[in-house]
A and B are shown apart, each in its own frame.
Chain A
Amino acid sequence: MSKKQVSLFNDYTKGVWDQNPVFKQVLGMCPALAVTVSAMNGIAMALATTFVLVFSSFIISLIRKLIPSQVRIASYIVVIATFVTIVDLVMRAQFPELSKELGPYIPLIVVNCLILGRQEAFSSKNNPFRSVLDALGMGTGFLIALASLGAIRELFGSRSILGVQLLPDAFEPWLIMILPAGAFLTLGLMMGGLNAMILRRKRREEADILSKHIPKTYVAASEGQEV
């Protein structure tokens, strides 16, 4: 791949993991916690958010040079709120059930720190194409986070994932998983677990580098063994 391609590719992928909005940047936490009682809700929320994110990024990137910086935030908010209203209207018209489930959290996409944050950090400085890629990447990352959180909570809280029962009837569902406390705890434990894995890998890599670049005897000596 050419250098340019690599950087475009990176525009997309960074949001998926390295800068995952939920796990790494701790943004957009409210919807992440509130709606993830099931995988389906998480996915729907993430898709709605991604829709708003992508379109607002596109529009804002297009008009970025026309907006005076003093009314920057206000303009972003209006653009975002417009798309959120569209999502909300469409959902209420076409998917009344889902709209009822996600309740007041759809309008709150307006203030989702993730969306505003991306406009400030990226779309206001880059061309529409890259902004859309960035938005798609962040959206994917958000989707991964919300879907996995929703899946775990649904599995233990209702024995199923995406409505498919996976655990036997003998398994008593843990009600706490679909309560607020369960949301915080699950996400906290997930993040801790991920961090532990990352730390472990880092430590192992460091050990590898050490053993490759430092003469054996030195390593042994530093570990206090007789050489």
Chain B
Amino acid sequence: MKTIIAMLVTLTIIGVVSGGGLAMISGWAAPLIAANKKAATERAIFLVQPEAKQYEAVAEVPYELYRVLDEGGQPTGYSFPWEGNGFQGNIRMMIGLTPDLATITAIEVLEQVETPGLGTMILEDPFRGQFNGLKTEPQVDWVKGAPPTKENEVQTITGATISSKAIVDIVNDGLARLRTDLAQGGDK
């Protein structure tokens, strides 16, 4: 019995000290971590909307969606994080759209676990740049092994066809969702 009490007491003391210490450090770190996260999101929002100066969250949809505004507070489009399956795992990206959703301003991949040097080429400009000004009607299409011929087409990366297609699929998937939700919400 005595040992059990000793055990409990020791563990409790260690636990309390540890918990207390952590609470203190967490108190210091939590705002910084939150700030880091916020900064990252903001950076991404503006990365896909080079013209924008401010942003506001859209509350009508049950997921993250940001309306971006110019200096005068006029809406210039949407920044829109969306995710889906890539080659190895989840890909999370930020999609920039014009207000009518018909054109992509730019895209940015936020999180991915594709093969370094291969699937990760989706992060780089030869591929990513194709989305600047890309038309989204009726949907984004991809071609393999040849330059695109239409305004809504991108060319896949050789050796990373699957990752490239994944990006296109995520964009289309997000767009479809957005179109129905915004049409209902009557955001314009």
A residues apposed to B, CB below 8 Å = 37, 66-68, 70-71, 74-75, 78-79, 81-82, 85-86, 89-90, 92-94, 96, 157-158, 173, 175, 178-179
Contacts and interface: CB of A to CB of B under 8 A. Distances in A.
Given A82-B22, A89-B25, A179 B115 contact: yes
B20 to A, nearest CB: 10
B129 to A, nearest CB: 22
Interface in B112-159: 115-118
Given A92-B33, A94-B32, A86 B22 contact: yes
A68 B14 CA distance: 12
17 contacts: A67-B10, A68-B7, A71-B7, A71-B11, A78-B18, A79-B14, A79-B18, A86-B21, A89-B26, A89-B33, A92-B33, A93-B28, A93-B33, A93-B36, A157-B117, A178-B116, A179-B115
Contacts of B115: 175, 179
Given A86-B22, A96-B40, A71 B29 contact: no
A129 to B, nearest CB: 22
B183 interface: no
B1 interface: no
A70 B18 contact: no
Contacts of B73: none
Contacts of A89: 22, 25-26, 29, 33
Q: Which 9 A-B pairs have the closest CB atoms?
A: A93-B32, A89-B29, A82-B18, A93-B29, A96-B36, A71-B7, A92-B33, A68-B6, A175-B117
A70 B3 contact: yes
A78 B11 contact: yes
Contacts of B25: 85-86, 89-90
Interface of B: 3, 6-7, 10-11, 14-15, 18, 21-22, 25-26, 28-29, 32-33, 36, 40, 115-118
Given A37-B116, A66-B10, A85-B22, 10 more contacts: A70-B3, A71-B11, A82-B21, A89-B25, A93-B33, A96-B33, A157-B116, A157-B117, A158-B117, A178-B117
A68 B10 contact: yes
Contacts of B21: 82, 86
Given A89-B26, A90-B29, A71 B10 contact: yes
A85 B40 CA distance: 22
A157 B7 CA distance: 50
A92 B10 contact: no
B188 to A, nearest CB: 37
Contacts of B116: 37, 157, 175, 178-179
Nearest to A94: B32
Contacts of B117: 157-158, 173, 175, 178
Nearest to B17: A82
Contacts of B14: 75, 78-79
Contacts of B15: 78
B11 A74 contact: yes
